[in-house]
């Protein structure tokens, strides 16, 4: 099982180095994945992120599962380094606390139900005159206007609307992507837009509204299949773990009952693969396989040839042969394999974060290469109420 081998990052309270967003305060009315994923990126860069949650139950993602020492895997992943403030924002007194925080904030983020932020007086239009430097980022399923504005949106629903299921899965059955890819894409576009808005504000002194639509983020990532179908041509066929338009590129069985992943991107690699891996150089000039379009068209016949060759090899032997032949390849790893991945260990990409149930490992964010990563703990519901009330000069909320 995984054991931490690096402590590159340290707790915020113990680290005297300032992150690049030190001094930036983010107030976030967030739940589930999209907004929390965005604000965790900001927190990792040193921003102060105050997560506003419902009293007692908190963000409903806290209850998704209990896989991390009794805590939810989603929540532990995307909520470190935040302060949790439990408020009933429909209660006038609690709402007043929220508005006091907003008055001090640099960024306001929300992914509440459609229309909820407007009803709470948290729209950019309601706040911009009083707080002209405030950046307001709204994350929703379909955006702030249009016929789908009020439609409920969850990750799988957005994957379906964006056409993801039409290109993912097997020939006989569509499949969702195994992670919350629509939420993650929205969170990352919110994050990059907020960074851009902060840069713009440094020049102009003015905040701005950011309107992030999960559908638009997901459709942007669907650019290849969209253009592939340009002019009303047929779309890419669902190809399971293979590539719809490049072959051989995908999973292939080995003699020990396992699989390996390989990919051929050009004709030079194809000839090399036939000679050094299949040890059948004549296959390279077979009329069925002389270019990628024909290999894709005749993939079933080629797959049989590759499987026949690999049947005498273990997965480890096949990977080694592909590697020495300069053919792109990959292990078919489980999550347990990823915990132990030698490349992540060699690069010191693991650190630790505190939770209410003890220390757990955490991956350093991509791009972090020094000791400035400042990771605070994963908070409990309302853990920071007292300290934030004290900061605001509030002694009691009835």
Q: Rounded to whole angstroms, how far apart are CA atoms 164 and 162?
A: 6
Cβ atoms < 10 Å from Cβ of 279: 10
Contacts of 360 (CB under 8 A, 6+ apart): 68, 69, 76, 352, 353
CA dihedral 384, 68, 113, 394 (to 10 degrees): -10
* Strand locations in 87-214 (E): 107-110, 135-140, 209-213
- Please state the φ and ψ torsions of residue 339, each to the nearest 5 degrees: -55, -35
Cα 162 to Cα 32, 49, 72, 193, distances in angstroms: 20, 31, 28, 21
The β-bridge relationship of strands 209-213 and 135-140 is parallel
Q: Does the annotation mark 243 as catalytic?
A: yes
Instruction: Determine the Cα angle at 66 with ends 62 and 71, to 5°.
Output: 55
Sole residue written with tokens 């791009």: 367
Q: Rounded to whole angstroms, how far apart are CA atoms 97 and 384?
A: 13
Contact 73, 65 (CB under 8 A): yes
Contact 179, 118 (CB under 8 A): no
DSSP letter for each residue of 325-376: TT-EEEE---HHHHHT-HHHHHTT-EEEEEETTEEEEEEPPTT--STT-B--
The β-bridge relationship of strands 25-29 and 107-110 is parallel
Q: Which of 124, 243, 307, 384 is catalytic?
A: 243
Q: Give the H/E segment covering residue 363.
A: strand 358-363
Q: Which two tokens stand for residue 287?
A: 């009329």
Residue 264: how many CA atoms within 13 Å on its side-chain side? Answer: 27
Contact 176, 159 (CB under 8 A): yes
The residues assigned a catalytic role are: 243
């Amino acid at each position: 099982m995984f054991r931490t081998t690096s402590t590159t990052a340290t707790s915020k309270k113990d680290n005297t180095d300032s992150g690049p967003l030190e001094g930036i305060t983010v107030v976030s009315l967030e739940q589930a994945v999209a907004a929390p994923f965005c604000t965790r990126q900001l927190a990792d860069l040193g921003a102060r992120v105050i997560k506003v949650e419902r009293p007692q139950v908190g963000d409903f993602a806290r209850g998704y599962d209990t896989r991390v020492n009794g805590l939810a895997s989603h929540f532990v992943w995307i909520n470190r380094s935040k302060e949790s403030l439990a408020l009933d924002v429909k209660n006038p007194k609690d709402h007043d606390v929220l508005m006091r925080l907003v008055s001090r904030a640099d960024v306001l983020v929300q992914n509440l139900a459609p229309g909820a932020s407007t009803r709470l007086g948290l729209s950019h239009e309601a706040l911009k005159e009083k707080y002209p430097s405030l950046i307001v980022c709204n994350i929703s399923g379909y955006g702030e206007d249009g016929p789908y504005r009020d439609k409920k949106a969850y990750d799988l629903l957005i994957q379906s609307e964006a056409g993801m299921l039409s290109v993912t899965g097997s020939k006989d059955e569509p499949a969702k992507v195994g992670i919350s890819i629509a939420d993650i894409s929205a969170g990352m576009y919110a994050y990059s837009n907020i960074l851009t808005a902060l840069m713009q504000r440094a020049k102009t002194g003015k905040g701005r509204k950011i309107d992030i639509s999960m559908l638009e983020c997901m459709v942007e990532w669907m650019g290849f299949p969209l253009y592939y179908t340009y002019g009303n041509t047929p779309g890419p066929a669902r190809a399971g773990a293979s590539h719809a338009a490049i072959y051989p590129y995908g999973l292939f069985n080995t003699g020990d009952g396992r699989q390996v992943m390989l990919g051929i991107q050009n004709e030079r690699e194809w000839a090399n693969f036939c000679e050094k891996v299949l040890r059948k150089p004549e296959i390279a000039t077979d009329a069925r396989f002389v270019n990628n379009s024909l290999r894709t068209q005749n993939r079933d016949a080629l797959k049989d040839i590759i499987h026949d060759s690999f049947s005498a090899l273990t997965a480890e032997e096949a990977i080694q042969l592909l590697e020495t032949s300069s053919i792109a390849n990959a292990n078919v790893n489980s999550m347990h394999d990823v915990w132990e991945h030698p490349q992540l260990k060699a690069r010191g990409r693991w650190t630790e974060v505190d939770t209410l149930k003890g220390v757990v490992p955490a991956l350093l964010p991509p791009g972090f290469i020094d000791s400035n990563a400042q990771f605070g703990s994963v908070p409990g519901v309302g853990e920071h109420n007292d300290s934030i009330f004290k900061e605001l000069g509030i002694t009691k909320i009835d």
